[in-house]
Each structure stands twice: as structure tokens, then as C-alpha cells.
Amino acid sequence: CDVFGIGGIRDKYPAEISGGEKQRTAVARALINHPLLVLADEPTGNLDSKSARAVIRTFEQARQALGATIFMVTHDSYAASHCDRVVILQDGRVRRTLEKGGMERSAFQDLLLDAIREMGKE
């Protein structure tokens, strides 16, 4: 709970907490049983940058400690830049697949943004 900053909402009902707190709670619940596969649909969508970083950091820890695979759907280039592989879709079709390899996270984010800009020119 402390990793996600949700310890203080333990005794509250869902109607009494914010959307971000609900989302962080959902991520914590998804990881509690140490799964080998996590399906994450916009896991940082309703979060402020600090909470989003905590979620991404926790996903990275799950991947390293458990060997878990994180399958994330996101519109957030920052979140995507932490992934090993990014598949860019447009209108339900695969437009491009990018591999991070040994690239630094910030350089990979720049590559992602360049790919998205190129798609906008078509």
C-alpha cells in the first residue's frame, strides 16, 4: 500500500476515494498474487506524474523479480518508453513495431515520438 500511496484509504468506500486512488488500488490488487502475466489497460491514464512513475516502477520490479510479462495498452509515450517492445496501432492495424534493445529510456521515448509524428504525416 505504501508504494502506491493508498494506505490512508484502507477503511474508505469506493465512492469516497478519487479516480487516481481507485486506479492505484486496481494496480496493487493485480500485483498482489505475483502473477506471471499482467494485462494493463491504460494503467497510468488517470494518475498524476508521481503516481504514474510509481506504477511503472512497480511493473518493472514485477518484471525483474517475478519474470512477469506486462502487456500494456497506453497512449502515454512515457509509460511506453519503459517497455521492451512497443507495437503501434492505428485504426486497429499494426503500423510499426519498435524494440528498445539496449537503448536508454529517453532515447527510446524520442524514437516512439518520432514514429508517431511520421504516422501523422501520412
Mean pLDDT check: name the lowest of 12-16, 30-34, 93-97.
Answer: 30-34
**Residue 113, by phi and psi: left (phi above 0), alpha (psi -120 to 50) or beta?**
alpha
- The string of pLDDT tens digits covering residues 67-106 is 889 999 999 999 999 999 999 998 999 999 999 999 999 9
Region 94-121 average pLDDT: 93
| The pLDDT of residue 32 | 84
CA angle (73 as vertex; 71, 76 as ends), nearest 5: 125
pTM of the full structure? 0.77
Region 50-66 average pLDDT: 83
Q: Is the pLDDT of residue 24 over 80?
A: no
Q: At 96, which helix (H) or strand (E)? A: strand 93-99
